[in-house]
Amino acid sequence: RYTSTGCFVFKPNFKKRKISVPIEDYFSKGKNASEDSKLRFETYQLIWQQMKSETERLQEELNKNLFDSLIEFLQTSHSGLWKNSEDWSGEIKLREIPTAALILGVNVTDHDLTLRSLTEVLQNNVTPYVVSLQAKDCPDMKHFLQKLLVSQLMDCKVDVQSKEKESVQVIQKNVHYSMDSLSAWYMNFHVLFDPKMRLKRQISQFLIRMIKQNEIQHLHEFPLILIFGIATSPVVIHRLLPHAVSSLLCIELFQSLSCKEHLTTVLDKLLLTTQFPFKLSEKVLQILTNIFLYHDFSIQNFIKGLQLSLLEHFYSQPLSVLCCNLPEAKRRTHFLSKYIFSISCKREETQSLLENLHVYHTNYFLVLRCLHQFTSFLPKYPLGRQIRELYCMCLEKNIWDSEEYASVLQLLRLLAKDELMAMLQNCFKVFQSSSAKELGNTAKKIEEFLAQFQSLDETKEEEDTSQSQSKGLQKTDLYHLQKSLLEMKELRSTSKRQTKFEVLREQVVSFVDSLVREYLLPPDTQPLHETLYFSSAHTLRQHLNAAPRIALHTALNNPYYYLKNEALRSEEGCIPNVAPDICIAYKLHLECSRLINLVDWSEAFATVVTAAEKMDANSVTSEERNEVIHARFIRAVSELELLGFIKPTKQKTDHVARLTWGGC
């Protein structure tokens, strides 16, 4: 069988197939099965569904602006043409194809989703004739047109049977004719393009034909609008299309939302809220944001990471059964009895602990936002610009112990009045928006502060006027002048001591400080935080951001790492000669430069292996043993070839080329 094919289909008979295993069985079977595992899985699914729909809603909301302006453009572009067609400029415009260039950013993975929803929106709001073309679907002109026509025909049901066949045949014969038929069939038409400009040739061909078409027939018979998706900058269009083509496009730019803002919103709505009980620990959050910032800028990947952490949390943490909304969690406390053996911890107590945890979170996020209001406008952003950075710091440790926090307080003490007031105003809004009872006083207090600042304003003004009055100096003699100067100096020095404003500012700062110290305790100080916080950062990293090269390197260089046999224990950078063959061959090949002589290699290998084997006495004759060793060498070498460390070369007889650099 091996020689005929590389694919084997296994199809169980029909009866058996019907009994499919429900997914939750895999959930419970994997680890120590317990009664609550089913519940846990259900909770996982519930929370994930909620989170997913929330992210989708967010996406929609964030794209709304962009889509609205696009739709407006699409609707006006053609109607505008006809209005002033007698105009000279209208004449020019008539010969141009209206084009929208949609700058989507480098997060290529998210484009799919955006374009899909855009297609949907356009189909619902503008016209049913929308074709979305992606580079991967159209490797050549034929596919391109086929896609164009077929998807169109499917949607509109215009003589599907007969004309499809015809058109496909037409395409194969002559592209030009199909364009004719195309324009004859459709009146209003939008084409969407994928951001990857691999479509280059097709687009230009297509456009050229389109434009020839326009010369024969009038554009209004075939009102075509193009929408290009672009990752980086609109220059790409000009680079990819010849001038003759691009000059016939009337391009208008649209900018999509930056992915960083998107991330901030997602974090804000998914994690910095008590709506979802699930939380990430500092390290996990760090990993997820780092993958986002350093690897792909992809929201989708971020959400995938979130899904994985949610799954892992419910899968590996038995206490996660309590990770649900508060009333439900209270009902589930009896599951806890298995894990807690202390008598003092009764059910009621657990319930109150859960309640405390909930309150803690409510306050936590409020104060966090409040603190963010203060820190995000400071010069150099000692506590970060984004709230996620601040959140990470607060999750990690007592924020008030950090140097950055001290410098924040220092900077706050230097703020001018209007800045401070703006911040307080923002804070007030934050507190007002919530309905937390405990922090109701805080809102009041801030209000008071604001009022005090206001009143400060008025008194200051009065002072100012009084001063200006006194300043109206008359002609005096030297003595009086000196006296008045002295007075003014005194006045200034007293004001330097502390004005009312400074006192008030000090009060505000210490108030903020007290808030932080009271409410921004790191979560691991709270009892039962394990139920909500997923902390196994390592698992996440391993599965999302793996390093296969380093794993290979470690396995080859330090087999003891995987095979815990004392014989394999060695120092850093060393290898015992009893190690697996491939490790020895690898180690030897590291000593070579670009080319390796197979004879030398095999001899070196034989030397090592023979030395290792002498330890255990064997009765095999030396010639036979040599052959076996040679065979082992061949195996090791071909395995190294499979792994991509070496390849055969024709440069010199019986040599192989090394494909990696260095040696260690």
Partner 1 sequence: MTSTLELKEDKMLKVQFVGDDDVLNHILDREGGPKIKKDRAQLLVNTQKIIKKPENELEEDDQEVLKDQNYVEVLGQDVQESLKNGSATDGGNKVYPFQNRKHPEKMAKLASELAKTPGKSVSLNKNDPEITIDIPQCSKGKILPQFEFLSTAPRGLRKRLIVPRSHSDSESEYSASNSEDDEGVAQEYEEDTNEDILSQKIQAQNRVVSAPVCRGTPSKKMKRKKTSHLVEEYFEAHSSSKVLTSDRTLQKLKRAKLDQQTLHNLLSKVSPSFSAELKQLNQQHEQLFHKWMLQLHLGFNIVLYGLGSKRNLLERFRTTMLQDCIHIVINGFFPGISVKSILNSVTEVLDHMGTFRSVLDQLEWITNKFKEDSSLELFLLIHNLDSQMLRGDKSQQIIGQLSSLRNIYLIASIDHLNAPLMWDHAKQSLYNWLWYETTTYSHYTEETSYENSLLVKQSGSLPLSSLIHVLRSLTPNARGIFRLLIKYQLDNQDNPSYTGLCFQDFYQQCREAFLVNSDLTLRAQLTEFRDHKLIRTKKGTDGVEYLLIPVDNGILTDFLEKEEEEL
Of residues 550-589, which lie at the interface with partner 1 (CB under 8 A)?
Answer: 550-559, 561-565, 567-568, 570-571, 573-578, 580, 582, 584, 587-589
Task: Indicate the residue among 405 and 605 with the shorter CB distance to partner 1.
Answer: 605
Of residues 514-543, which lie at the interface with partner 1 (CB under 8 A)?
Answer: 536-538, 541-543
Q: Which of 78, 196, 238, 260 binds partner 1 (CB under 8 A)?
A: 196
Tell whether residue 108 is a contact of partner 1 (CB under 8 A). yes
Kindly state the smallest distance separating residue 546's Cβ from partner 1, in Å. 3
CA distance linking residue 377 with residue 412, whole number of Å: 10
Tell whether residue 635 is a contact of partner 1 (CB under 8 A). yes
Tell whether residue 600 is a contact of partner 1 (CB under 8 A). yes
Task: Indicate the residue among 416 and 643 with the shorter CB distance to partner 1.
Answer: 643
Tell whether residue 141 is a contact of partner 1 (CB under 8 A). no
The helix-helix angle for 108-125 and 37-83 (nearest 10°) equals 60
Q: Quickly list DSSP for 122-173.
A: HHHHT-S-EEEE-GGG-SSHHHHHHHHHHHHHHHH-SSHHHHHHHHHHHHHH
Nearest to 626 by CA among 661, 598, 602, 648: 602
Kindly state the smallest distance separating residue 197's Cβ from partner 1, in Å. 13
Size of interface with partner 1, in residues (CB under 8 A): 139
Q: Which of 240, 308, 340, 353 binds partner 1 (CB under 8 A)?
A: 308
Nearest to 223 by CA among 101, 118, 79, 100: 79
Q: Which of 311, 326, 340, 450 binds partner 1 (CB under 8 A)?
A: 311
Nearest to 654 by CA among 596, 614, 576: 596
Chain position carrying tokens 């995000």: 376
CB 229 within 8 A of CB 193: yes
CB 97 within 8 A of CB 249: yes
Q: Rounded to a whole number, what is the largest CA-CA distance in the chain?
A: 125
CA distance linking residue 628 with residue 622, whole number of Å: 10
CB 539 within 8 A of CB 443: no
Q: Which of 96, 362, 592, 621 binds partner 1 (CB under 8 A)?
A: 592
Tell whether residue 643 is a contact of partner 1 (CB under 8 A). yes
Tell whether residue 391 is a contact of partner 1 (CB under 8 A). no
Of residues 262-301, which lie at the interface with partner 1 (CB under 8 A)?
Answer: 283, 286-287, 290-291, 294, 296, 298, 300-301
Sign of the C-alpha dihedral, residues 640, 642, 646, 647?
A: positive
Q: Which of 89, 469, 593, 621 binds partner 1 (CB under 8 A)?
A: 593
CB 37 within 8 A of CB 319: no
Kindly state the smallest distance separating residue 341's Cβ from partner 1, in Å. 27
Q: Which stretch binds partner 1 (CB under 8 A): 11-19, 84-92, 222-230, 458-466?
A: 11-19
Tell whether residue 71 is a contact of partner 1 (CB under 8 A). no
Task: Indicate the residue among 233 and 638 with the shorter CB distance to partner 1.
Answer: 638
Nearest to 308 by CA among 545, 524, 110, 548: 545
Q: Which stretch binds partner 1 (CB under 8 A): 374-382, 431-439, 451-459, 639-647?
A: 639-647
CB 325 within 8 A of CB 357: no
Kindly state the smallest distance separating residue 50's Cβ from partner 1, in Å. 16
At 459, list the tokens: 């008194």
Task: Indicate the residue among 40 and 93 with the shorter CB distance to partner 1.
Answer: 40
Q: Which stretch binds partner 1 (CB under 8 A): 18-26, 87-95, 336-344, 486-494?
A: 18-26
Q: Which of 222, 278, 315, 534 binds partner 1 (CB under 8 A)?
A: 315
Neighbours of 612 (CB within 10 A): 15
Task: Indicate the residue among 361 and 388 with the shorter CB distance to partner 1.
Answer: 388
Tell whether residue 313 is a contact of partner 1 (CB under 8 A). no
Tell whether residue 197 is a contact of partner 1 (CB under 8 A). no
Q: Which of 435, 614, 617, 622 binds partner 1 (CB under 8 A)?
A: 614
Of residues 402-421, which lie at the interface with partner 1 (CB under 8 A)?
Answer: none
Q: Which stretch binds partner 1 (CB under 8 A): 24-32, 324-332, 374-382, 476-484?
A: 24-32
Tell whether residue 165 is a contact of partner 1 (CB under 8 A). no
Of residues 25-44, which lie at the interface with partner 1 (CB under 8 A)?
Answer: 26-27, 29-30
At 618, list the tokens: 């064997």
Tell whether residue 64 is a contact of partner 1 (CB under 8 A). no
Tell whether residue 62 is a contact of partner 1 (CB under 8 A). no
Kindly state the smallest distance separating residue 366's Cβ from partner 1, in Å. 28
Tell whether residue 651 is a contact of partner 1 (CB under 8 A). yes
Q: Which stretch binds partner 1 (CB under 8 A): 17-25, 57-65, 346-354, 464-472?
A: 17-25
Chain position carrying tokens 């952490």: 309
Task: Indicate the residue among 393 and 424 with the shorter CB distance to partner 1.
Answer: 393
Chain position carrying tokens 């390796």: 596
Sign of the C-alpha dihedral, residues 319, 335, 273, 310?
A: positive
Q: Which of 243, 344, 548, 622 binds partner 1 (CB under 8 A)?
A: 548
Q: Quickly list DSSP for 19-81.
A: -PPPHHHHHHHHS---TTHHHHHHHHHHHHHHHHHHHHHHHHHHHHHHHHHHHHHHHHHHHHH
At 242, list the tokens: 């010849």
CB 476 within 8 A of CB 363: no
Task: Indicate the residue among 183 and 301 with the shorter CB distance to partner 1.
Answer: 301
CA distance linking residue 428 with residue 37, whole number of Å: 44
Tell whether residue 166 is a contact of partner 1 (CB under 8 A). no
Q: Which stretch binds partner 1 (CB under 8 A): 23-31, 81-89, 406-414, 431-439?
A: 23-31
At 124, list the tokens: 């619902």
CB burial class (10 A; 0-12, 13-18, 19+) of residue 177? middle
CA distance linking residue 249 with residue 425, whole number of Å: 49
Q: What is the DSSP letter of 274?
A: S
